[in-house]
Amino acid sequence: LLTLCIECVTFICSLCYQLVLELCRSESTADHQTIQTHLDIIHNLTEKSSDNECHGDELEASDSNFVELVKTLLKDTFERENFFQEVFPIHYGLQYDTALQRLMSEFLSRLEELLPVPDLAQTTEWLDAAPSVLEECEHTVIDPEQLKTVLQHHQHKANMSNSMCQSSW
């Protein structure tokens, strides 16, 4: 369960990091209030994880470093341009996305391990409670004449588009 906590907090913080950095990318998207809201979310997550002993020290250090980076990006245009040209593609580019996907996959796998496997009775109950696809189709086709009209319309439209394609050759 502790590993699941670490993975969840790390994943959420990583997504928030990426979002905040995208917001900092240009002056037009760098809304200080929105960015601060996301920084507060990150701070609250890291603070709670340190209370729960989910590698909180590492997350808090990462949090404070990230806040300093964001402050620098918001204040200094040259640093922002340099960061997004040189640093961002390396640290938050394809490898970062791949790491997030891996982290999400691991998180979902661990979560799946915690969920109970339904027995046959539960599965049957779920399937009986859901209407069949065939029943749903029957309810959507009320009047066969309406269906015939729609099908003819689409057939006519397809024939017209085929003849237009042939005449353009």
pLDDT of res. 51: 56
pLDDT of res. 129: 74
Task: Provide the residue-wise pLDDT of the chain in tens; the chain has 169 residues.
Answer: 556 677 777 788 888 888 899 889 887 777 888 888 888 888 888 877 655 555 556 666 677 888 899 999 989 889 999 999 998 888 888 888 888 888 888 878 888 888 888 888 887 787 777 766 556 666 665 667 776 777 787 777 766 655 555 555 5
What residues have CB less than 8 Å from 59, skipping those under 6 apart? Answer: 9, 10, 13, 45, 46, 49, 50
pLDDT of res. 118: 81
pLDDT of res. 11: 80
pLDDT of res. 156: 76
Domain boundaries, the chain: 2-114, 132-167
Task: Give burial (CB, 10 Å; 0-12/13-18/19+) of 35.
Answer: buried
